[in-house]
Structure 1
Amino acid sequence: MTRDPTFHMIAGGPRPVAPFSHAVEADGWVILTGQMPTDPAAPDAPLPEGVAAQTVRVMENLRVVLRGVGLDLEHVVQVRAYLTEFERDYAAFNETYQGFFPSDRRPARTTVGVTALALGALVEIDCIARRPEGADGA
């Protein structure tokens, strides 16, 4: 049975930097908007220094959104990452990123070098998660 999409804004989630929903869910697929390295508890605070610290913050923000819809990183099947300093930061990004997933359950991933990101961030990550069979949406 196909259901209309559900548009999620997560209470206590990262403050949007543009007009979007934190996540949109359709037929068990949950598509998360790209997250920035902002602190949901202090959205006007300076961004963390360096790509490793920003990657941690972004992954934590993705986790906040996922948990807001009753999922976690273990449900992520695809990731897209955007780096403003690709050549300089790719190795450090990978080193940090890999710690969020078991080596035998890493999502499919694309990493792209871009010229700029909102708020002057070094990294932004979006993802797609799949709700387990039979689980209801949040």
Structure 2
Amino acid sequence: MSTSTESSIRTAMQSPHIPAPRFRYSPCVRIGFNYQVSGMVALDPASGKLETGGPGAETTRILSNLQLALPDYGLSLDELLIARIYTTRMDAFSEINAAWETIFNDGLVPPARTSVGVSALPLGASVEIEFSFVKSSVSV
């Protein structure tokens, strides 16, 4: 079950199935039909440590963590509008794509996607992904 904090029009949501934020931010924010999931790095839910194994393994962990949290947010991958991928390893982008394609295969329409090369990411990660969702209806 997720926990949420509401302000006037914005609801902050959390999932007990993924590591809690280490800094002050909301893992997911809902405004109306729009949901924004904060950038996720590849933290293991059990240990809270960064996944090892490079960009492919990190991407797999991020997508796995997203799937763990989605039921708590009341979302599904079918409602994913866009993903923004940040990586310090554009030279290994094929590993990121391979992990991505295990989830977004022929059976699921992939979202729009932006990929950006950066010089550094939080906690020494090589991949961070943020996600934007839109629901067709909102239940409160």
Q: When the two structures are superposed, what TM-score results if normalisation uses the length of structure 1?
A: 0.86
Deviation of 1:74 after TM superposition, in Å, equals 2.1
The amino acid that maps onto 1:96 is: A
Choose which of 67, 72, 75 in structure 1 pairs with 2:76: 72
For residue 92 of structure 1, what is the amino acid of its counterpart? E
Preserved contact between residue 51 and residue 61 of structure 2 (Cα < 8 Å): no
How far apart are the structure 1 equivalents of 2:138 and 2:25?
Answer: 25
Find the counterpart in structure 1 of residue 96 from structure 2: 93
- Aligned-pair identity in percent equals 30
| Residue of structure 1 in register with 2:12 after alignment | 7
Quote the offset at 1:73 in angstroms: 1.8
Checking the alignment, whether the CA contact within 8 Å between 1:51 and 1:122 is kept in structure 2 is yes
1:46–1:79 distance in 2 versus 1, CA, 3 Å: closer
Matched-pair contact (CA < 8 Å) for 2:84–2:130: yes
For the aligned residue pairs, the C-alpha RMSD in angstroms reads 1.7
Q: Does 1:42 align with 2:47?
A: yes
CA–CA separation in structure 2 for the residues paired with 1:25 and 1:110: 21
Q: Residue 59 in 1 paired to residue 63 in 2?
A: yes
> Are 1:112 and 2:116 an aligned pair?
yes
Q: Say whether residues 1:32 and 2:42 are aligned partners.
A: no
- Assess if the C-alpha contact under 8 Å between 1:51 and 1:123 holds in 2: yes
d(CA) in 1 for partners of 2:50, 2:131:
24
Task: Please point out which of 126, 129, 135 is paired with 1:125.
Answer: 129
TM-score (normalizing by structure 2)? 0.85
Call closer, same or farther: CA 1:40–1:129 in 2, change over 3 Å. Answer: same
Displacement of 1:64 in angstroms is 2.4
User: Distance in 2 between the 1:65 and 1:46 partners?
Assistant: 18
Secondary structure in structure 2 of the residue aligned to 1:56: helix
- 4+ residue segments displaced more than 4 Å: none
- Measured at CA, do residues 102 and 46 of structure 1 come closer, stay the same or move farther in structure 2, by a change above 3 Å? closer
How many residues are matched? 132
Q: Is contact 1:23-1:65 (8 Å) kept?
A: no
Using the alignment, how far apart are the partners of 1:100 and 1:125 within structure 2?
A: 14
